[in-house]
Structure 1
Amino acid sequence: MRTGGCVGSIVEELEGTLGQGKVSTDEVTLARYALDQGPVLDYQLPAAVVFAESTADVQSAVRSCAGMGVALVARGAGTGVSGGAHASRNCVILSLERMDRILDLNPDDETAVVQPGVVNAVLNEAATIHGLMYAPDPASFRTSTIGGNVATNAGGLRCAKYGVTRDSVLALDVVLADGSLIHTGHQTFKGVAGYDLTGLFVGSEGTLGIVVGVTVRLKYLPRDIHTIAAFYPDFRLAAAGVLAVGRARVQPAIMELLDGGTLAQLDSIHGSDLSSRGRALLLVQTDGFGAAAEADVVRRVLADGGAVVTMEASAEAEHLVDLRRHSRGVEVDDEYRVGEDVAVPRSRLVDYVAALEGMAAAHVVNLKVVAHAGDGNLHPTFWVDRLDDAVDKAAMERLNLALDASIDAALEMGGTITGEHGIGQYKLRWLGLEQPEPVRELQRRIKDLFDPAGILNPGKAI
């Protein structure tokens, strides 16, 4: 990282170029925008927060920071959980939340053009009128922004059938590190002219450029939806149920797996009775004109595998899906509690679940697991009890050993250290375990090409 610059000077520069109401140095605001929801390794306050309202504002902020060698961290709603939007020392936080307009929605082309601050749920509300939907479906869809989804290549509940963010992004408008504006991609569903720069920017966590416009492909809103709740006596049997559905060659839209600890927590928070019905829940949703027929197959397959299966009424089905969206709990990750984001081949789901349970017992830490089981993406959460007035160093050591073990096990099974949350700041310590040095060096060279001064979200992603 080759950044520096004077804090007072950059604030004066930004206020001069952007005008009133777009630059804040208020301590409360600085503290609020210093962090996303990821664990904190190195808490820093930004020098200022810029609230961009247009592409021109973003270009002005980038040029000012580039001219003075000041780091710039782009931010959406701050719902990320890997520290990708954490402030670096004396940086400028560039908030894109005010750039929240749907610029175009074409029901015949089945596309939409949006600014980065558009919230997932808002885009879906607009698309629903035309019988369409934006398929990526993160659990935080009511608050997360499309720009943030692009930054991390976010997934979500519907990813089993509809894929992740990259599968729905056709084109991008991006402000580069020198303040210039480029357009990548195409308005059509097909297009292979030149290198896929759109795909490169998706998932780059704001380290190569600032996304200011997104053209997305919309999907047909399903005419029929069936939700199946399959309760199992243990989590490993539920994981085996995922493979059984796959062998039946049915493609659900949603396949979500919740363990006993998660069910108990949901019951405590929401007053549900899930724990009394089993020690693990496999939640399957089929959609489209064949939803009922597919649901019949799924129900039979899961019952044959030892599940207590119910075809829920519509209201209960929606309630179960909503509970799953809140299954990370109310806590924010910190040094005592870390929610992981690994993926393994689906054929290794049962093995990985068994490994997680074993390492939690071996290291004497608490564990709960939810998973986008349809594509092998698991979210195990490890935690130790917090002491009131002191850090339990022994407990922290056990927690970190369990985290390291969970990463090692995923990689040994052919998996990845992050399925959808990104590397951010927190997962850099494990990146070298997955990617060999020649690959990492190539990525550093790409970073240097797009951002030679190293001002865009330094210390993240690569």
Structure 2
Amino acid sequence: MTSPVLAPSALDALVAALQERHPEIEVRPSSPATVDYLHDAATRLAPAGSASTIGPAVALPASPEHVQDLVRIAAEHGVPVVPRGAGSGLSGGASATTGELVISTERLTRILEVSPEDEVAVVEPGVLNAELNAHLAPLGLFYAPDPASWRISSIGGNIATNAGGLRCAKYGVTRESVLALDVVLADGSLISVGHRSIKGVTGLDLVSLFVGSEGVLGIVVAATVRLRPIPAARRTVTAFFDSTAEGAAALAAITASRVRPSIVEFFDEPTLVSIDRHSHSRLRERGGSLLLIELDGFGIAEQFAELRDALTAVGGRVQAETDADGEVLWELRRSGRGFDLDSWFSGGDIAVPKSRIPEVYAYFAVLQERYGVEVSAVAHAGDGNLHPLITLRIPDGADPSAPPATLHDATDDLVRFALSVGGTVSGEHGIGTVKRELAAVELSPRTLAAQHALKAALDPTGLFNPGKAF
């Protein structure tokens, strides 16, 4: 489904109606001041989408009732709505055009309730992941999903993409931590789906339907999320190997052990080199690949001993890091990898059964030979989610805003290889606009038809986030 081409008067009339009928809601007309709302973190870097100097109209509701009013009036005027959280997404799911109304949840920031007895919190979608955990820490609780952008990404955005993060290996992705949702539908009605209780099987699982739906079915205005006790202890463990292949193969030793780390991250050799160059670290001096692991809970010493023995037996140089060094290493994981401005690049995420991770890394050599690109990846190796980076040096005199087709072809090739070994187009970033063509490769025509039918049932006029996800 693509966004309709609208006359400017349609959006102007909508803004005028909102200002007249709901002056309590801040609405910013389409102008250069709203240009940042055209993009999310993915499309902001896309040369083809960066030229416009005029942004969309933007509404900033401060209550669920505001969201309902905005949706109703947008529907009256036939103006498409783009739901938006913090704009940190990496798939184009929150990108907009100048003919659309962006409904931003950035002011819906209340933590409505925390119940330590039930281990749940009720939050509005604009609450940042980091802010929620800062609020919970004095209570001895935490919210488990932790995408790399946890300091700046909102709970609503995490729900829209079913965001993952580092601790998914033990605690699961966002879907495993969402119990109930309040959602505004395309007719402006407000529905509640799910249960406050941990268990609940009454009716279809509409919570799981909305989680990961990328704003095409409705706008989440509140979420009941599951909390967990802060572990009794945490320990950062490093295991360096001589090569990427040895490190990737060593993942099987963790699975074969009785230890279940909360985090298992894998860095190949080019990633270590990139981090060192960008962050002035010295990781590559310690080995040609790295498994960065977090253990948590009781019996840390016993967990470490078994893990050390398992990884040492397959060639790892294993070390328990100090708390201070561990903090540095985790920050390098989240933000240490840099981008070479002299190269074109393509990023993203794929996921495969974790036993197939070594095959994916081995396939990088095929891509490099076939397309003349450089390929590296950091991986949430505990659940098979890789974040590849494909780069190609920009020749002298070439237009930096016009990457050659070979970059796209190499990216497409890698995704198709992931699919061939039982993987998926996206593990946690979502489809948005960036991966729509590839998603159609993964999903059968009948499956796509079923998804379009669900969309039509909940949003028959295609009001929400047209051109995304499908």
**Could you list the runs of 4 or more consecutive aligned residues of structure 1 that deviate by over 6 angstroms after TM superposition?**
none
- Note if contact 1:152-1:202 (Cα within 8 Å) is conserved in structure 2: yes
Distance 1:325 1:357 in 2: 26
- Alignment correspondent of 2:27: 23
- Alignment correspondent of 1:62: 71
The alignment partner of 2:68 has SS state of helix
Distance 2:245 2:124 in 1: 42
Distance 2:272 2:338 in 1: 11
Q: Deviations over 1:300-342 (max 9, x none)?
A: 211111122211111101211121111453689x993221210
| 1:159 alignment partner, one of 168, 193, 203 | 168
Give the letter aligned to residue 463 of structure 2. I
* TM superposition shift of 1:46: 4.5
Distance 1:407 1:225 in 2: 35
Is 1:76 the equivalent of 2:85? yes
Write out aligned runs for 1:177-216 (5 A). Answer: 177-216=186-225
Provide closer, same or farther for how the CA distance between residues 88 and 392 of structure 1 changes in structure 2, counting only shifts above 3 A: closer
Normalising to structure 1: TM-score of the pair? 0.95
* TM superposition shift of 1:22: 1.1
| 1:368 alignment partner, one of 376, 379, 382 | 376
Provide closer, same or farther for how the CA distance between residues 395 and 363 of structure 1 changes in structure 2, counting only shifts above 3 A: farther
- Note if contact 2:56-2:97 (Cα within 8 Å) is conserved in structure 1: no
Distance 1:126 1:23 in 2: 30
Identical aligned pairs, as a percentage? Answer: 45
- Alignment correspondent of 2:14: 10
Is 1:223 the equivalent of 2:237? no
Is 1:406 the equivalent of 2:414? yes
- Note if contact 2:343-2:392 (Cα within 8 Å) is conserved in structure 1: no
Normalising to structure 2: TM-score of the pair? 0.94
The alignment partner of 1:329 has SS state of coil
* TM superposition shift of 1:396: 1.6
Write out aligned runs for 1:407-422 (5 A). Answer: 407-422=415-430
The alignment partner of 1:281 has SS state of strand
Write out aligned runs for 1:9-158 (5 A). Answer: 9-19=13-23, 22-25=26-29, 27-39=31-43, 40=46, 42=49, 46-158=55-167
Distance 1:344 1:250 in 2: 21
Distance 1:91 1:395 in 2: 28
Distance 1:389 1:64 in 2: 50
* TM superposition shift of 1:392: 7.1
Provide closer, same or farther for how the CA distance between residues 160 and 305 of structure 1 changes in structure 2, counting only shifts above 3 A: same
Is 1:266 the equivalent of 2:289? no
Distance 2:310 2:82 in 1: 48
Provide closer, same or farther for how the CA distance between residues 329 and 75 of structure 1 changes in structure 2, counting only shifts above 3 A: farther
- Note if contact 1:327-1:370 (Cα within 8 Å) is conserved in structure 2: no
| 1:380 alignment partner, one of 382, 388, 393 | 388
The alignment partner of 2:149 has SS state of coil
* TM superposition shift of 1:20: 5.9
Provide closer, same or farther for how the CA distance between residues 250 and 84 of structure 1 changes in structure 2, counting only shifts above 3 A: same
The alignment partner of 1:336 has SS state of strand
* TM superposition shift of 1:381: 0.8
Give the letter aligned to residue 214 of structure 1. A
Provide closer, same or farther for how the CA distance between residues 193 and 178 of structure 1 changes in structure 2, counting only shifts above 3 A: same
Distance 1:423 1:61 in 2: 26
* TM superposition shift of 1:398: 1.6
Distance 2:34 2:231 in 1: 43
Segments of structure 2 that go 5 or more residues without pairing to the other structure are none
* TM superposition shift of 1:21: 6.7
Q: Deviations over 1:344-380 (max 9, x none)?
A: 1111111111012321232111222100000000000
| 1:461 alignment partner, one of 442, 456, 469 | 469
- Note if contact 1:368-1:382 (Cα within 8 Å) is conserved in structure 2: yes
Give the root-mean-square deviation of aligned CA atoms. 2.1
* TM superposition shift of 1:242: 1.3
The alignment partner of 1:375 has SS state of coil
Provide closer, same or farther for how the CA distance between residues 47 and 307 of structure 1 changes in structure 2, counting only shifts above 3 A: same
- Note if contact 1:51-1:96 (Cα within 8 Å) is conserved in structure 2: yes
Distance 2:56 2:37 in 1: 11
The alignment partner of 1:12 has SS state of helix
* TM superposition shift of 1:42: 5.0
Distance 2:192 2:402 in 1: 51
Q: Deviations over 1:31-75 (max 9, x none)?
A: 111100114465665430111111111111111111111111011
Distance 1:434 1:459 in 2: 18
- Note if contact 1:256-1:284 (Cα within 8 Å) is conserved in structure 2: yes
- Note if contact 2:278-2:337 (Cα within 8 Å) is conserved in structure 1: no
* TM superposition shift of 1:265: 2.1
* TM superposition shift of 1:394: 9.6
Segments of structure 1 that go 5 or more residues without pairing to the other structure are none
Is 1:319 the equivalent of 2:328? yes
Give the letter aligned to residue 95 of structure 2. H
Q: Deviations over 1:141-171 (max 9, x none)?
A: 0000000000000000000000000000000
The alignment partner of 2:406 has SS state of helix
* TM superposition shift of 1:395: 5.8
| 1:449 alignment partner, one of 454, 457, 467 | 457
Give the letter aligned to residue 368 of structure 2. A
